[in-house]
Chains A and B, each alone.
Chain A
Amino acid sequence: MQKVIVIGNGMVGYKFCEKLMAADPDRRFKVTVFGEEPWPAYDRVHLSAYFSGSKAADLLMAPLSWYTDNGIDLRTKELIVQIDRAKKCVHSHLGNIMEYDYLVLATGSSAFVPQIAGVEKKGVFVYRTLEDLDAMKSFGKQVRSAAVLGGGLLGLEAAKAVMDMGLQTHVVEFASRLMPRQLDESGAGILQAKLEELGITIHLNKQTSAIKGNGKLAGLEFVDGNSLDVDMLVISAGIRSRDELGAGAGLETAPRGGFVVNEFLQTCDPSIFAIGEAASCAGMVYGLVAPGYEMAAQVVNQLTQQKAKPFMGFDMSTKLKLIGVEVASFGDALGELEPSRSIVYENKDKGIYKRINISSDGKRLLGGVLVGDSSTYNMLLQMVQNDMPLPPEPEDLILGARGDKGGSNGMGVENLPATAQVCSCENVTKADLCGSIQAGATEIGALKTCTKAGTGCGGCLPLINDLLMVELKSMGKVVKNVICEHFDYSRQELLDLVKIKGIRSYDSLLDEFGHGDGCETCKPLVASILASTWNELITKQDTIQDTNDRFLANIQKGGTYSVVPRIPGGEITPEKLIVIGQVAQKYGLYTKITGGQRIDLFGARVDHLPDIWEELINAGFESGHAYGKSLRTVKSCVGSTWCRYGVQDSVSFAIQVEERYRGLRSPHKLKGGVSGCTRECAEAQSKDFGIIATEKGWNLYVCGNGGSKPQQTILLANDLDTDTCLSYIDRFLMFYIKTAEPLNRTATWLNKMEGGIDYLRDVIVNDCLGIGAELEREMAFMIDTYACEWKEVVNNPELRAKFKHFVNVEEPDPQVAFGPMRGQKIPVGWAG
């Protein structure tokens, strides 16, 4: 058995072990790993996730048990301090000595800290390890502002992290633009504008001369005489390879750091390799994981006597994650490596900048920069890497195919050559993926498991998805958006079946058109379709509903529910407000005003729900359907009755609209808004449908949403009278209900719609399909058959009886527990 010692248990050191285990099933190698850090290797690339709640354990590349299971002797918290090449052994700081046949240096790098007077002061941090983050987190709690030194890829990631800590954030960059290595002047300008919008202050052309403060940092002084007062500093000025073991061992190191290796990753001692950020290959240190993984693979190949490819450099294309602005640069981003021409698209209004560099003969794509919209990054990168031919109009690559040329712009996955590397982290090619798909991995999860593609940075996942679709199609499999294993139909097809065949229950639909016993995907989906078609009380088929729809309330941590009575348009009388207060007091509910101008009552026991509703209904309230995929609220501003700017009565209209569509079940939740003038205080332009008053009537906007991917509405029609406005909304909502995929908001629905807003306008306003009257009729049926679900339950003893925790004893759930907070209660005991 041969002894392999790995120094460093970082991402690349780990990947080396993983690949060696896979290539050496007979365990001819005995592997020992020394790692200085207290934990096993973790995903440094996603380090920032540690700020947004991930635990150290979530970030581990593999659990401790993985090492034991594979017979790897992992020694964390143990630093190697000396390599004795003559005796072929290493010494650790604990005095342990261990022999090797092969030694792999995977010591990575540390953050480079420039020699600035005062860098040792308290409050100065680097951004590299979990411990760095712990230290930043606890220090950040006591201060108000922070600066990041360095406006490169990592610096901006660090800036986002400190901003998320709630600190006033500054970025200080030495160069005249952000990300100088990846972006040109204009691209960096757009990025800067976006970051400034997020509240980050950018200081360019700033060389820091000293760090001020008495023991603890108080600010920065710049060479130009200016200064900046901050409480905390994060240095992100580049990396420096950890090559300190080289000198004592007589291993050559590069002037700018890194163990010098040849194209087979060997140092001058053929039994010693260096990989990852510790290696300097042809004068270059690669500060990304993908090249490190490739190095690890090549060393494994050599040890296991497989064919090893010489390491001849690696693509350094990157996408910035996290910051809330899409930025990518690929290939020869700045067009510096060979004579080239560039095509540039700049839209300052939308914050988009795209540039591609094309070889001077106009035949090849060399590289480029994308800011504000990097959706085409993967495909463009593939074109560069595979020398794919350019489309006849290369500008289509960044502008999309325009006019009536339609469709393809040479960017589909089908045009990729088989050798194209789709996942660079795991080095998986299109041929590998297609092979696995043909061998039966026809789902994204299975495909990831068997090829490992997409398991690293995850950036290639959209591409893998497209590839899967295209490949399945070419194999003759019908690629349909079937909803789950129980129904081979799309949502739209099921809806048609339900309507045409007059099907009114889930069970009969499953009997006639499905197979198996159903599941948590198709049950609520069919429930929604049935409700959108027949508008019968959903409590009739309660076990096909999600728990929220089954108990007509929103489940919360701890298993209690929250209750939201409808308050149309946000208008409420003092008498009704008092009732809400009394009910909350009586049942001990936590109360909070929602974003939709109503009141949410939390912490209701399931057995109390009918009693609570009985009292609310007696006071004239009805269900707010906060639990359903259905109309939530129509938010309004106070409008022309009170407001000196108002031009129409927005509250009255909002109430009318909310009452019109209350209870309407749809593929996803629906929100509306009505503003009484163009000041738009109701924020109607972020809703599924938004109405804004004009001097002449109403402007109708559609397909917006807030949430994690906010999208603005688009104007559908302007200066409408009230009746026309309502009939357009009728058509719009019904068309959405009938054609959207499950759980797609109107914005997503529109984004996927061929022809986009122009087509939608054609259908709704110009009635190009001739279905306008039918849509209105269907909506009229919904409006006429509306009934409050809670009223029905409260008055029906049989339905009421279903609201209890145990069926064999009259007791509430003994596990429900609350703690106090600011004079109200909150649930306790939520694991993890």
Chain B
Amino acid sequence: MLAEIEKYKKAELSSDIFWFKAAATNAFPENGGACVKYKDLQIAVFNFTRRGEWYACQNLCPHKMQMILSRGMIGSCENEPKVACPFHKKTFSLKDGKNLNGDECTITTYPVKVEDGFVFVGFDSHY
């Protein structure tokens, strides 16, 4: 189980970036998320239309180890963009992955860019 979480940390951008072409922008619902597969990782990508922003994070909710965050509702907490896990409503910052309920578990986030109608997620090129 722990190994599962470690994978996502390992893929976090540290030195060289690799931009993975995930899917066309219209694959992601407005103000919502969808899940993409990259190698053995599941990544939740959010189209935060209201803010004109895109975010990506691990799809795995660390609380009960469930592949689910892409189906969570997004929103803001004092202007910090966040996602809420559908299972127990743990909320995480989409910016840095920190837990906004004051619990210990956090998630890994990844950079996103949009080019020519496609969404790209940035991973460490060594992953």
Contacts and interface: CB of A to CB of B under 8 A. Distances in A.
A555 B72 CA distance: 12
Interface string A485-508: 110000000000000000000010
Contacts of B42: 806, 813, 815
Interface centre among A516, A518, A806, A811 (most CB of B within 10 A): A806
Given A542-B29, A555-B87, A550 B23 contact: no
A578 to B, nearest CB: 33
B37 A516 contact: no
Contacts of B11: none
Contact of B35 (A518, A805, A829): A805
B37 A808 contact: yes
A832 interface: yes
Interface string A527-566: 0000000000000001110111011000101110000000
Interface string A549-587: 011000101110000000000000000000000000000
Contacts of B87: 555
A824 B104 CA distance: 36
Interface centre among B32, B73, B82 (most CB of A within 10 A): B73
A830 B64 CA distance: 6
A808 B74 CA distance: 21
Given A558-B66, A813-B67, A806 B75 contact: no
A806 B36 contact: yes
B19 interface: no
Nearest to B91: A520
A807 B24 CA distance: 9
Contacts of B32: 542-543
Contact of A520 (B29, B34, B73): B73
A517 B78 contact: no
A518 B72 contact: no
A831 B29 contact: no
Interface string B27-40: 11111111111000
Interface centre among A517, A547, A559, A805 (most CB of B within 10 A): A517
Interface string A795-816: 0000000100111110101011
Interface in B72-108: 72-79, 81-82, 84, 86-87, 89, 91
A543 B29 contact: yes
Nearest to A555: B86
Contacts of B34: 807
A550 B30 CA distance: 13
A555 B63 CA distance: 16
B68 A485 contact: no
Nearest to A449: B102
B64 to A, nearest CB: 5
B65 interface: yes
A518 B67 contact: no
B1 interface: yes
A426 to B, nearest CB: 19
Given A520-B84, A807-B23, A808-B36, A543 B78 contact: no
A339 to B, nearest CB: 52
Nearest to A556: B87
Nearest to A606: B71
Nearest to A811: B37
A519 B72 contact: no
A523 interface: yes
A808 B27 contact: yes
Contact of B75 (A507, A517, A813): A517
A808 B70 CA distance: 13
A550 B22 CA distance: 23
B35 A807 contact: yes
Contact of A519 (B22, B33, B73): B73
Nearest to B20: A808
A547 B72 CA distance: 7
Interface in B105-126: none
A806 B28 CA distance: 11
B3 to A, nearest CB: 13
Given A551-B71, A815-B42, A831-B64, A517 B51 contact: yes
Contacts of A518: 50, 75-76
A524 B72 CA distance: 12
Given A543-B30, A808-B27, A519 B77 contact: yes
A811 B38 CA distance: 12
Nearest to A815: B67
Contact of B64 (A523, A802, A832): A832
A559 B36 contact: no
A517 B50 contact: yes
B29 A802 contact: yes
Contacts of A557: 64, 66
Interface in B2-61: 22-23, 27-37, 42, 48, 50-51
Nearest to B53: A517
Contacts of B50: 507, 517-518
A547 B86 contact: yes
Contacts of B84: 519-520
B79 A516 contact: yes
Given A543-B30, A547-B86, A808-B23, A516 B64 contact: no
A551 B65 CA distance: 21
B73 A544 contact: yes
B36 A520 contact: no
Nearest to B35: A806
B37 A517 contact: no
A517 B73 contact: no
Interface centre among B50, B68, B71, B75 (most CB of A within 10 A): B75
B62 to A, nearest CB: 8
A517 B47 CA distance: 13
A830 B1 CA distance: 10
A82 B78 CA distance: 57
B81 A485 contact: no
A410 B36 CA distance: 61
A806 B41 CA distance: 11
A666 B60 CA distance: 31
Contacts of B51: 517
A829 B66 CA distance: 9
Contacts of B29: 542-543, 802
B37 A559 contact: no
Contacts of B1: 829, 831
Contacts of A802: 29
Contacts of A544: 31, 73
A561 to B, nearest CB: 10
A519 B36 contact: no
Contacts of B81: 517
Contacts of A811: 37
Nearest to B51: A517
Contacts of B78: 485, 516
A602 to B, nearest CB: 16
A806 B71 CA distance: 11
Interface in A425-440: none
13 contacts: A516-B79, A520-B84, A523-B73, A543-B30, A544-B31, A805-B35, A806-B37, A806-B42, A807-B23, A807-B36, A813-B67, A815-B42, A829-B65
Given A544-B73, A559-B68, A829-B65, 17 more contacts: A485-B77, A516-B78, A517-B50, A517-B74, A520-B89, A542-B29, A543-B30, A543-B31, A555-B68, A555-B71, A557-B64, A559-B66, A806-B42, A807-B22, A808-B22, A808-B23, A808-B27
- Complex A-B, nearest 9 residue pairs according to Cβ-Cβ distance, in ascending order: A543-B32, A519-B75, A547-B86, A520-B84, A517-B76, A831-B65, A807-B27, A807-B34, A520-B73
Interface of B: 1, 22-23, 27-37, 42, 48, 50-51, 63-68, 71-79, 81-82, 84, 86-87, 89, 91
